[in-house]
């Protein structure tokens, strides 16, 4: 039985309804895969523990969680980046058959092994920054075999790396070229074949859909979510990113885990969202890259006490961002979120957005021991700096992924 005792730690437990749940002069006992005890130094169960880590006042947090990403895909979109800088808008590029569809072509022509090789450098910075759970969506295959191929790569990541991966089926991400002008037929294919096939292989933890003028309508989105529900799968949706189509309210009323983007969500719908258990996932990376100006309704989300999560949205087009710490900083700088909200957004609220808050996301007895040791003494340091990674050690389910050089 392996045990690790952290002593002299500043612990951000994230165990309450607000704040950091900060415990100074704290100690934390990990037993096998779980958090066995957390409390103050003077009460710590010292005797008989093989490994003791003296944190010397430094910060411990739960493992960080990236609850919205599109990390598996073929190729890149540096050319589109350049086009946008030469004046084209994101919507124009999408309408011209560029954008998402160019990634669809590159993803379809890549093998599973090639996609796996390509995802590794995108994952590395997240792993280095203490991310212990990542959600990865399909959505660049847009047919049964290619969506399954993407989800297998996501599963392979979990098998090969010390990382929890939540696999999300996003077959309704864009209209594939072979279904041009037949979007209802494509939605039927998604519901009748693609999703059931992927689910039959055990590859689907949740279902997502992109509801937007450049993607699928509110009615089409509702149909996809109904299909997920009929299969007993949790679901979520990309909504109100570029316009207000009412997707957030529709998804929340059906019981979505999360509604993601939501810059264009109106305040009346925020109040109704608050009646549900749905988490608001904000994606400042896409807001930054697309140089959006419409801010998400943060004041209303706060007043209505809607839990807010943050994620990278890592994807080749609108958010080629692979730093969860930068996302925390962007949330503060661009959205005026507080460092407390930012840390909650990548821990406990991200866990809620994945339906995993009973297992991960806070430092609470009985939860999985995903723990990060940081070379800082206060949590605000994580959101404040750009370009410094103070991650000093990461434990995933009680096993060191990268070990600090101070244990005895
Ligand atoms: N919203 C986004 O920001 C990404 N997908 C989505 O549904 C964009 C994906 C891409 O441009 O490749
Ligand atoms: Fe996305």
What are 363-399's pLDDT values in tens digits? 999 999 999 999 999 999 999 999 999 999 999 999 9
The average pLDDT across 169-194 equals 97
**239, 243, 294, 297: which is closest to 268 by C-alpha?**
297
**pLDDT higher than 80, residue 143:** yes
Q: Is 77 in the pocket of ligand 1 (CB under 6 A)?
A: no
**pLDDT higher than 70, residue 47:** no
pLDDT tens per residue across span 311-344? 999 999 999 999 999 999 999 999 999 999 999 9
**96 CA from centroid of ligand 1 (Å):** 15
* Residue, of 285 and 86, whose pLDDT is higher: 285
- Contact status, residue 26 vs residue 10, Cβ threshold 8 Å: yes
The average pLDDT across 204-232 equals 97
If you average pLDDT over every residue of the chain, what do you get? Answer: 95
Strand boundaries in 217-284, DSSP class E: 236-239, 258-261, 279-282
- Contact status, residue 130 vs residue 400, Cβ threshold 8 Å: no
Q: How confident is the model at residue 405 (pLDDT cuts 50, 70, 90)?
A: confident
* SS3 state at 315: strand
What is the best residue among 69, 70, 78, 239 to mutate for testing ligand 1's pocket, by most ligand atoms within 8 Å of CB?
Answer: 70
- Those residues with Cβ within 8 angstroms of residue 117's Cβ, 6 or more apart along the chain or in another chain: none
pTM of this structure:
0.97
- Contact status, residue 237 vs residue 260, Cβ threshold 8 Å: yes
Q: How confident is the model at residue 99 (pLDDT cuts 50, 70, 90)?
A: confident
The average pLDDT across 44-65 equals 90
How far is the CA of 393 from the CAs of 54, 256, 386, in angstroms?
12, 34, 19
Q: Is 168 in the pocket of ligand 1 (CB under 6 A)?
A: no
Q: How confident is the model at residue 84 (pLDDT cuts 50, 70, 90)?
A: confident
pLDDT at 407: 45
d(CA 74, CA 77): 10
Q: Is 210 in the pocket of ligand 1 (CB under 6 A)?
A: yes
**366 CA from centroid of ligand 2 (Å):** 32
**208, 211, 229, 231: which is closest to 220 by C-alpha?**
211
Q: How confident is the model at residue 1 (pLDDT cuts 50, 70, 90)?
A: low
**214 CA from centroid of ligand 1 (Å):** 10
- Contact status, residue 362 vs residue 338, Cβ threshold 8 Å: no
**pLDDT higher than 60, residue 2:** yes
The average pLDDT across 11-27 equals 97
- Contact status, residue 198 vs residue 172, Cβ threshold 8 Å: no
pLDDT at 408: 43
Q: Is 316 in the pocket of ligand 1 (CB under 6 A)?
A: yes
């Amino acid at each position: 039985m392996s045990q690790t005792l952290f002593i002299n730690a500043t612990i951000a437990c994230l165990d309450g309804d607000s704040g950091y749940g900060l415990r100074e002069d704290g100690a934390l006992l990990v037993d096998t895969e779980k958090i066995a005890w957390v409390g103050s130094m003077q009460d710590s169960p010292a005797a008989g523990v093989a490994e003791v880590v003296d944190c010397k006042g430094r910060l411990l947090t739960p493992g960080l969680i990236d609850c919205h990403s599109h990390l598996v895909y073929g190729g890149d979109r540096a050319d589109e980046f350049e086009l946008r800088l030469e004046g084209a808008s994101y919507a124009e590029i999408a309408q011209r058959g560029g954008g998402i569809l160019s990634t669809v072509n590159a993803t379809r022509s890549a093998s599973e092994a090639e996609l796996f090789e390509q995802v590794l450098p995108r994952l590395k910075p997240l792993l280095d920054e203490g991310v212990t759970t990542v959600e990865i969506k399909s959505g660049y295959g847009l047919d049964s075999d290619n969506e399954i191929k993407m989800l297998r790569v996501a599963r392979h990541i979990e098998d090969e790396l010390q990382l929890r991966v939540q696999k999300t089926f996003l077959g309704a991400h864009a209209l594939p070229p072979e279904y041009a002008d037949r979007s209802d037929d494509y939605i039927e294919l998604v519901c009748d074949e693609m999703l059931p096939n992927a689910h039959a292989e055990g590859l689907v933890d949740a279902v997502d859909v992109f509801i937007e003028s450049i993607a699928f309508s509110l009615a089409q989105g509702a149909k996809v979510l109904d299909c997920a529900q009929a299969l007993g799968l949790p679901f979520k949706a990309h909504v109100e990113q570029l316009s207000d189509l009412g997707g957030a309210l529709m998804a929340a009323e059906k019981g979505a885990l999360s509604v993601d983007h939501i810059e264009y969500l109106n305040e009346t719908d925020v109040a109704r969202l608050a009646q549900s258990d749905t988490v608001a996932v904000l994606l400042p990376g896409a807001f930054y890259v697309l140089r959006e100006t419409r801010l998400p309704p943060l004041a209303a989300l706060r007043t209505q006490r809607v839990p807010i999560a943050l994620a990278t949205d890592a994807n080749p087009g609108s958010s080629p961002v692979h730093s969860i710490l930068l996302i925390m900083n962007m949330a503060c700088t661009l959205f005026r979120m507080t460092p407390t909200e930012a840390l909650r957004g990548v821990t406990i609220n991200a866990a809620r957005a994945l339906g995993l808050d009973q297992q991960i996301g806070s430092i609470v007895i009985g939860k999985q021991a995903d723990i990060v040791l940081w070379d800082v003494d206060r949590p605000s340091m994580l959101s404040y700096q750009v370009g410094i990674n103070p991650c000093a050690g990461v434990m995933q389910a009680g096993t060191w992924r990268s070990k600090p050089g101070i244990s005895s």
